[in-house]
C-alpha cells in the first residue's frame, strides 16, 4: 500500500502478517510459551540471518513479546505477575558479569504527550542507586553486590534540539554504563494489543519509527554498549482501523441474505485490489492519524509501574 501500509513496531505482528499471506521466512525462528496460572503468552521471534532481517525489516536479534490479556485491568496481583515475567526475560538479556553491572535506563518519548509518556514515567518510578553507591559504597543497601542504576529522560528533538542518541552518547562517555535499557511507546497493527503487550529486544530501538518519525537508532553500533529495548504499544495507525473494519464488513455482508452477493464480490478481491480500495477511502488527513484508547492516562500510569517494577526486580533493586 506504499505510504498507506499498516505500521507496527512489533516483530510478532510483522511475522504474523507473513503467516497470513502464507509466506515462510528462512532465517526467522519462532518459539511460544504459555504461563497457565496467569494466561500470559510469551513469544520469541529470533531473526538469525541477514535474509530474515531484510524481509522482516528489522535487525538480527531476539524479539520477545509478552501478551497479557488482562493487562489493561486494575489488578495489582496480576500486574505483579507480569512484572515478574518481565524480570525473568530481562535477566536473560542483561550482560553476564561477575561483578555488579552499571545500567543506564533511558525513558524515551515526550512527557507532555500522554501516549508517548511511557518512558519518562517508568524512569520516574525506578529505584535509582548509582548516586547512593558512589556516595556510601557498595554496602549502602546492606548487600555485597548492588547494581548501579542510573536514569535519564532525554526528551524529544522538538524540546531539546538534539537527537536522543547525541544526548545518550554524552551521558555514556561520562558514566560508562555496561548496558542501556531504553523504554519507549510503540505503534501496533492490532487494536487488541494496545496496552496489553510488552516487547523486549536486544537489538536496540529506532525512536519514532512506528509513527513515521524516524530518528537515529539507539543500538550497540551507535552507542558502543549493548542496548535492550522495552516497548508497549499505545497507538494504532488509523489505516489499521479502516483495514480491519473493511474486513469485518465484508465478512458480515457475506453472511447476510440480502448483501451476500455484494459481500462475496468484495471477498473475491485480491490483496492488491483491496489495498487500492483502502487507498481511495483514506484521505491525506486520515492517513496521518494515530488513535489511542480513551483511558490512556490511567493506562500509562498503571503500565509504567508494571514495567518499572519488572526492571527493579531484574536489577535487584525492588523495594517490594
Is the separation of the CB atoms in 149 and 103 below 8 Å?
Answer: yes
Residue-wise pLDDT for 189-238, tens only, equals 888 899 999 999 999 997 755 455 556 789 999 999 999 999 999 998 87
Q: 117 pLDDT band (50/70/90 cuts)? A: very high
Quote the pLDDT of residue 136: 87
Residue-wise pLDDT for 84-112, tens only, equals 999 999 999 998 877 789 999 999 999 99
Tell me the average pLDDT of the chain. 85
Quote the pLDDT of residue 22: 63
Which domains are seen in the chain, by residue range? 2-234+295-314 (3.40.50.1450), 241-287 (no CATH)
User: How far is residue 230's CA from residue 197's CA, in Å, rounded to a whole number?
Assistant: 11
N residues, the chain = 320
Of 292, 310, 278, 316, the residue nearest 1 (C-alpha): 278
Q: 168 pLDDT band (50/70/90 cuts)? A: very high
Q: 265 pLDDT band (50/70/90 cuts)? A: confident
Amino acid at each position: 500500500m506504499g505510504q498507506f501500509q499498516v505500521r507496527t513496531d512489533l516483530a510478532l505482528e510483522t511475522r504474523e502478517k507473513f503467516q497470513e499471506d502464507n509466506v515462510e521466512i528462512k532465517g526467522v525462528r519462532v518459539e511460544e510459551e504459555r504461563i497457565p496460572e496467569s494466561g500470559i503468552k510469551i513469544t520469541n521471534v529470533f531473526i538469525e540471518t541477514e535474509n530474515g532481517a531484510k524481509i522482516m525489516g528489522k535487525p538480527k536479534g531476539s524479539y520477545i513479546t509478552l501478551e497479557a490479556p488482562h493487562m489493561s485491568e486494575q489488578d495489582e496481583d496480576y500486574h505483579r505477575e507480569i512484572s515478574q515475567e518481565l524480570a525473568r526475560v530481562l535477566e536473560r538479556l542483561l550482560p553476564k558479569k561477575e561483578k555488579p553491572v552499571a545500567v543506564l535506563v533511558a525513558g524515551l518519548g515526550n512527557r507532555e504527550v500522554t501516549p508517548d509518556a511511557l518512558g519518562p514515567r517508568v524512569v520516574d518510578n525506578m529505584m535509582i542507586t548509582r548516586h547512593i553507591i558512589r556516595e556510601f559504597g557498595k554496602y549502602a543497601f546492606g548487600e555485597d553486590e548492588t547494581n548501579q542504576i542510573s536514569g535519564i529522560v532525554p526528551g524529544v528533538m522538538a524540546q531539546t534540539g538534539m537527537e536522543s542518541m547525541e544526548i545518550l552518547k554524552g551521558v555514556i562517555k561520562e558514566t560508562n554504563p555496561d548496558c542501556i535499557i531504553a523504554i519507549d511507546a510503540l505503534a501496533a497493527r492490532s487494536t487488541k494489543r494496545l496496552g496489553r503487550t510488552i516487547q523486549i529486544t536486544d537489538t536496540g530501538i529506532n525512536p519514532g519509527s512506528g509513527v513515521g518519525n524516524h530518528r537515529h537508532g539507539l543500538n550497540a553500533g551507535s552507542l558502543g554498549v549493548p542496548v535492550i529495548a522495552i516497548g508497549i504499544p499505545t497507538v494504532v495507525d488509523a489505516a489499521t482501523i479502516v483495514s480491519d473494519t473493511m474486513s469485518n464488513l465484508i465478512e458480515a455482508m457475506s453472511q447476510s441474505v440480502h448483501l451476500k452477493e455484494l459481500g462475496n464480490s468484495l471477498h473475491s478481491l485480491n490483496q492488491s485490489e483491496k489495498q487500492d480500495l483502502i487507498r481511495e477511502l483514506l484521505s491525506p488527513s486520515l492517513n496521518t492519524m494515530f488513535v489511542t484508547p480513551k483511558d490512556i492516562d490511567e493506562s500509562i500510569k498503571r503500565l509504567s509501574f508494571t514495567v518499572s517494577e519488572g526492571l527493579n526486580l531484574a536489577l535487584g533493586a525492588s523495594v517490594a
